[in-house]
């Protein structure tokens, strides 16, 4: 890709790569704005073409003219020049386009330069080759901004849910990690041992069930972040292995697994792992950053509701009347841990998902201070909740109240599980 330090979305990065290919094919010494404009127009399902067609521009004619101009300039270039190795750099006028694109991104409060923003960067650089040719077609920056708003307001041909399922299918083509499958099977095995009362030490099986079940929920929590990021435009999560549910693929297993387990054993504080690293610049809109942060707690909520299902819902309730209390206590405690993780995650403290949900909409001054606090977020929460204080009492009172809202039977067995697991 041509060298640039500007934050670009995946589509914008691909457009620059295609512009470099066009420049190389035509023997250019650098990537100028005409090559970039042609790359934008040739982009699959091009947003730039859609905007220009909305403005009644004959896109086919524009493509032919830009292509002819590039070939004409290539024919006038000095022959025999040595081809630059390692990829072409951006021309000076194209650097100006990128700088104006960055300014447009900032004006629109976006977190990365997308394809339509590159078009606006050309229009904001009237001296650039692309800016001059677009001006001849009567295209202005204000018209493009207004057409972008109008296109966004038009009804979509595809339902978001169908797109989400297609994304999930593409994301899971590498399959589920055998390590995660083994972890799930081990958890089920421990549940079976507790159900049928196998062995003389049910507390040991209960301990193993809680730990392995919590690790499963950690993987699902991280997967929730990753699959939402993939849906939002960050395909790097696939290459990092986050979509396989393999806990060993997470960047920092210590942070994501070991520390939460230690805190769990020390005081029942169900900390999530913060091991999925997202390329926020690849996300299409700032709102996707909030959705990525919210997806982890959503995974905990789904786990909680599934674990609560047997406690008072026909026909599960009658089946569980004959089940050993150790099994019900284990289910209840695991559900309680999901509730605690949900509450902690939604706290608006830097480093936690609750703050991540709000972060795209906060002022820059506050974000600077938040960056300073971020490394200490987990420590602050642990100290506040593990000590006897009004804040800790308020937190735990609300956790138990929320458990009662879910199901009273679940709350009872969760309390029994706490007595057994944390004597």
The residues that are catalytic are 222
Residue 385 CB neighbour total at 10 angstroms: 22
**Burial class of residue 344, CB neighbours in 10 A (0-12, 13-18, 19+):** buried
How many Å separate Cα 274 from the centre of its chain? 12
Phi/psi at 31 (nearest 5 deg)?
-90, 105
Coil, strand, or helix at residue 103? Answer: helix
DSSP-assigned letters across all residues of 233-263: T-THHHHTTGGGT-GGGSS-HIIIIIHHHHH
Q: Quick one: which of 213, 214, 356 has its CA closest to 274?
A: 356
Backbone angles phi and psi of 113, in degrees to 5: -85, 120
Q: Is the backbone of residue 252 left (phi > 0), alpha (psi -120 to 50) or beta?
A: beta
What's the token pair of residue 56? 């009644």
**Contact criterion met (CB below 8 Å) for 245 and 177:** yes
Residues in the chain: 423
Burial, 105: exposed, middle or buried (Cβ in 10 Å; 0-12, 13-18, 19+)? buried
In angstroms, the CA 360 to CA 309 distance is 35
């Amino acid at each position: 890709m041509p060298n640039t330090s500007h934050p670009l979305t995946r589509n914008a990065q691909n457009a620059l790569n295609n512009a470099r290919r066009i420049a190389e094919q035509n023997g250019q010494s650098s990537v100028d704005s005409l090559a970039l404009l042609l790359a934008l127009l040739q982009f699959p399902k091009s947003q730039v073409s859609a905007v220009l067609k909305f403005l009644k521009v004959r896109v086919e004619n524009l493509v032919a003219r830009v292509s002819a101009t590039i070939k004409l300039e290539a024919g006038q270039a000095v022959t025999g020049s040595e081809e630059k190795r390692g990829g072409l750099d951006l021309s000076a006028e194209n650097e100006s386009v990128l700088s104006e694109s960055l300014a447009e991104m900032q004006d629109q409060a976006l977190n990365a330069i997308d394809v339509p923003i590159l078009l606006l960067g050309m229009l904001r650089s009237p001296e650039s080759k692309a800016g001059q040719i677009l001006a001849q077609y009567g295209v202005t920056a204000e018209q493009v901004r207004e057409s972008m708003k109008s296109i966004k307001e038009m009804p979509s041909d595809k339902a978001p849910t169908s797109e989400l399922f297609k994304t999930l299918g593409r994301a899971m083509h590498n399959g589920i990690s055998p390590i995660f499958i083994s972890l799930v099977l081990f958890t089920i095995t421990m549940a079976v041992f507790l159900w049928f009362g196998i062995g003389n030490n049910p507390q040991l099986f209960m301990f193993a069930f809680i730990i392995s079940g919590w690790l499963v929920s950690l993987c699902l929590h991280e997967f929730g972040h990753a699959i939402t990021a993939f849906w939002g435009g960050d395909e790097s999560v696939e290459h990092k292995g986050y979509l396989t549910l393999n806990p060993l693929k997470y960047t920092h297993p210590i942070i994501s697994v070991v520390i939460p387990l230690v805190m769990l054993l020390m005081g029942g504080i169900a900390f999530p792992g913060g091991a999925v690293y997202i390329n926020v610049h690849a996300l299409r809109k700032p709102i996707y950053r909030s959705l990525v942060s919210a997806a982890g707690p959503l995974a905990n909520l789904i786990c909680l509701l599934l674990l609560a299902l047997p406690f008072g819902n026909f026909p599960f309730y009658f089946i569980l009347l004959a089940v050993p209390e150790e099994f019900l206590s284990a289910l209840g405690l695991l559900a309680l841990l999901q509730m605690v993780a949900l509450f902690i995650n939604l706290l608006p403290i830097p480093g936690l998902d609750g703050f991540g949900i709000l972060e795209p909409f906060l002022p820059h001054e506050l974000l600077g201070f938040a960056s300073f606090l971020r490394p200490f977020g987990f420590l602050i929460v642990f100290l506040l909740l593990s000590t006897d204080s009004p804040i800790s009492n308020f937190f735990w009172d609300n956790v138990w109240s929320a458990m009662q809202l879910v199901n009273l039977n679940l709350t009872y067995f969760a309390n029994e599980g706490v007595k057994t697991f944390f004597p």
